[in-house]
Structure 1
Amino acid sequence: MTDRKTMLAQMTRRRMLLGSAGLTVAFGMLPGSLFAQDPISVAGIYTVPVEQQWVSRIHVAAEAAAEQGLITYTFSENTANTDYPRVMREYAEQGVQLIVGEIFGVEQEAREVVLDYPDTAFLLGSSFMPDPEYPNLAVFDNYIQDASYLSGIIAGAMSETGNIGMVGGFPIPEVNRLMHAFMAGVREIKPEAEFQVSFIGSWFDPPKAKETAFAMIENGADMLYAERFGVSDAAQEKGILAIGNVIDTQSDYPDTVVASALWDFGPTLAAALARIGDGSFAADNYGLYSFMKEGGCSLAPLGTFDGKIPQDALDMVAAKQAAITSGEFTVEIDDSEPTSS
């Protein structure tokens, strides 16, 4: 991995800018009795570095909870799928009360571990809904389609050609629904927009994502959807615009990243801690805490692009956001694999 120290510094800066206020609100909603209890022991198990977009949001939320004294927190990163069950067992054997992470590539093996440790709570990213046969396993993923849709409206307004490139990791529901929501937002402004869609087969391969994005630019794209790290680098080098995903990277690409759909894991973690605290933790779908109306996602501040986006697009974003928050408008959740048009 290139210049890990620099990437960690960037992540720390983003955490300071983006995470503190929302996480404080989320944990501030916890019952007062939880603050009086001993900290809940939490372990994170991640298959990628903690600076990777998706995992970074879990990591940042856990660190914030630890700073507030609600939890003790340790983690393992770059855990291979083949090692994941073993690491789960090691933390459970140590008496960790809550294990968080993602099991998209090791679903069945992880569930076998869960059954062996009924007194341990597991909150794991998964492509499947909760199953009462695994009563101590709650699942989640980043249902941030609301914010992705809004970012698509902005992308449609800022793209001159309507040719938009989209680079994703894998075509799994967690990625597919965000891409579809983004595309729906774009079409609100540019109904005839065309999309180039490609998946790189990795959660963390910036060079491959960059090369894929370069090919899309050569094929006419003037706007990129950066679901993976590396895409915004290609946009910056070629002088076109990009839309970010999960975290706000505009400080790193001030002339490139127009807007980003942000994921806040704080409400998800806060809900789990509250239920562990009162003894009610059970198999449940925590993905709902990522919805905009729950405070789990938002559109990043426009920052350097403030005043550069057409007002009619901003008016539409404001109206749609109000409707989403009030429940008057629902962004469609489409988990099917998106394809190029």
Structure 2
Amino acid sequence: MGNRRQFIKTATGVALATLFGAGLLGQAQAADPLKVGFVYISPIGDAGWTYQHDQGRLQMERALGDKVETKYIENVPEGADAERVIRELASSGYGLIYATSFGYMNYVERVAKQFPQVTLMHATGYKTGKNFGNYNARFYEGRYLNGVVAGKMSKSNILGYVAAFPIPEVVMGINAFARGARSVNPDAEVRVIWVNSWYDPGKEREAALTLISQGADMLTHHTDSTAVVQAAEEKGVNAFSYHSDMSKYGPNAQLSGTTHQWGDFYTRTTQAVLDGSWKPESTWGGVQQGMIETVPLNASVPDEVRALVDKLQADMRAGSFHPFTGPVVDQDGKTRVPAGEVISDNDLGHMKYFVQGVASKLRSN
């Protein structure tokens, strides 16, 4: 009898220990952080496109604490190697992956189909899937505001633009810059040099110097490095940074700039994945959503220009002004958006023409 009682006590103790242990294990598993991967096209550095995305990653980490564990991979080219990197993250337990360059889109789509349990987000693209969304910022809003400053302050009326690739994302920024400048200076013209790279400081610098030699006294860029702002500082002309504030590289040259604010978006999206409410959506936020901010104006910008920029930015924030309110007329004189109408997001996303005010010709990619 005693042996039997001892057996029952022992068996019960083992069972309770097993259940208790399983409960602890379950709690540990439930508390495991979500592994979040970031794929970057260029080095993080201390300014530029990738730097700004990484600032967003860090903000998200601070906000979500031990609920997340992040990893980033820099310098991933837009080619087959991007697919390898994204797939390796997906197969290594990363439940959420942010791929932060346009050329990653098709590779993200392939990996999303192969790993349906992983959530993937692609920056600046247009495709979606069951576990695949995209996000972008309305860069053109900041570009328009920078164009207003450039148009007001240019003495030569020649504005230089160093651009990466002739894709809609870049084209709409060039057009917005030109429209902003022409809204205050009908004689302003924008000249574009393509460098066929998102990040190539040498090419960016040479393009900037070429534009300066052609008389440009205002420069901006849709590339990732600080080379254009640095060239402007060296040659005594003005510039507008892109992606992030680059005033440390051009304290005299930089009049303003357009910055992208990703932190709140990364935090919201990651939290949605954590709590199971995420859905495959396309996010395109601008000034109104806090995803686009302009760099504080240089002290050399006159008060009247400051007041105009402040008003336009306030109108954008209120939703009462759009940089592509018609008439929008292309270089050939064709009306693309009639007077009084506002361009659709779909047409913006497929923009393949230059507006009046852009002196260069748009070549196909």
Which of the five TM-score ranges fits, normalised by the shorter chain? 0.7 to 0.9
The 1:257/1:103 distance shift into structure 2, 3 A limit, reads closer
TM (normalized to structure 2)? 0.77
Which SS does the other structure have where 2:103 is aligned?
Answer: coil
1:147 corresponds to 2:142: yes
Query: How far did residue 311 of structure 1 move?
Result: 2.4
For residues 295 and 147 of structure 1, what CA distance do their matches in structure 2 show? Answer: 12
1:118 corresponds to 2:116: yes
Query: How far did residue 337 of structure 1 move?
Result: 4.8
The 1:103/1:314 distance shift into structure 2, 3 A limit, reads closer
Residue of structure 1 equivalent to 2:341: none
Query: How far did residue 39 of structure 1 move?
Result: 3.8
Tell me the amino acid that sits aligned with residue 121 of structure 2: L
For residues 193 and 293 of structure 1, what CA distance do their matches in structure 2 show? Answer: 28
Which SS does the other structure have where 2:41 is aligned?
Answer: coil
Query: How far did residue 103 of structure 1 move?
Result: 5.0
Query: How far did residue 106 of structure 1 move?
Result: 4.1
Residue of structure 1 equivalent to 2:273: 276
For residues 87 and 279 of structure 1, what CA distance do their matches in structure 2 show? Answer: 25
Identify the match of residue 86 of structure 1 among 68, 72, 84.
84
For residues 204 and 282 of structure 1, what CA distance do their matches in structure 2 show? Answer: 32
Task: Deviation per CA, 1:45-102: give whole Å up to 9, x if none.
Answer: 1232223622222211112222341521111111232111111121111211110113
Which SS does the other structure have where 1:66 is aligned?
Answer: helix
Q: Any stretches of 5+ residues in structure 1 without a counterpart?
A: 1-35
- Contact 2:36/2:97 (<8 A) preserved: yes
For residues 194 and 103 of structure 1, what CA distance do their matches in structure 2 show? Answer: 29
1:329 corresponds to 2:345: no
1:45 corresponds to 2:26: no
For residues 246 and 205 of structure 2, what CA distance do their matches in structure 1 show? Answer: 15
Residue of structure 1 equivalent to 2:247: 250
Which SS does the other structure have where 1:245 is aligned?
Answer: strand
For residues 31 and 281 of structure 2, what CA distance do their matches in structure 1 show? Answer: 24
Number of residues paired by the alignment?
298
What are the equivalent positions in structure 2 for 1:1-341 lying under 5 Å apart? Answer: 39-51=33-45, 53-68=48-63, 69=65, 70-80=67-77, 81-102=79-100, 104-130=102-128, 134-228=129-223, 229=225, 230-286=227-283, 288-289=284-285, 291-302=286-297, 305-306=298-299, 308-332=300-324, 334=348, 335-338=351-354, 340-341=359-360
Which SS does the other structure have where 1:214 is aligned?
Answer: helix
Query: How far did residue 254 of structure 1 move?
Result: 0.4
- Contact 1:143/1:174 (<8 A) preserved: no
Structure ID, larger Rg: 2
- Contact 1:39/1:71 (<8 A) preserved: yes
Tell me the amino acid that sits aligned with residue 352 of structure 2: S
Query: How far did residue 125 of structure 1 move?
Result: 1.6
TM (normalized to structure 1)? 0.82
The 1:67/1:268 distance shift into structure 2, 3 A limit, reads closer
Query: How far did residue 163 of structure 1 move?
Result: 0.6
The 1:103/1:318 distance shift into structure 2, 3 A limit, reads closer
For residues 300 and 277 of structure 1, what CA distance do their matches in structure 2 show? Answer: 33
Task: Deviation per CA, 1:297-330: give whole Å up to 9, x if none.
Answer: 111112xx22x22222222111111111111112
CA RMSD of aligned residues (A): 2.0
Residue of structure 1 equivalent to 2:6: none
Which SS does the other structure have where 1:58 is aligned?
Answer: helix
Tell me the amino acid that sits aligned with residue 192 of structure 2: V
Tell me the amino acid that sits aligned with residue 36 of structure 2: V
Q: Which range is displaced more, 212-221 or 137-146?
A: 137-146
Which SS does the other structure have where 2:256 is aligned?
Answer: strand
For residues 37 and 293 of structure 1, what CA distance do their matches in structure 2 show? Answer: 35
For residues 269 and 174 of structure 2, what CA distance do their matches in structure 1 show? Answer: 28
Query: How far did residue 284 of structure 1 move?
Result: 0.9
Query: How far did residue 270 of structure 1 move?
Result: 2.3
Residue of structure 1 equivalent to 2:4: none
How many percent of aligned residue pairs carry the same amino acid?
A: 28
Tell me the amino acid that sits aligned with residue 186 of structure 1: A
- Contact 2:180/2:323 (<8 A) preserved: no
Task: Deviation per CA, 1:175-199: give whole Å up to 9, x if none.
Answer: 2222221111111221221111111
- Contact 2:99/2:108 (<8 A) preserved: no
- Contact 1:43/1:100 (<8 A) preserved: yes
Which SS does the other structure have where 2:288 is aligned?
Answer: helix
Tell me the amino acid that sits aligned with residue 231 of structure 1: V
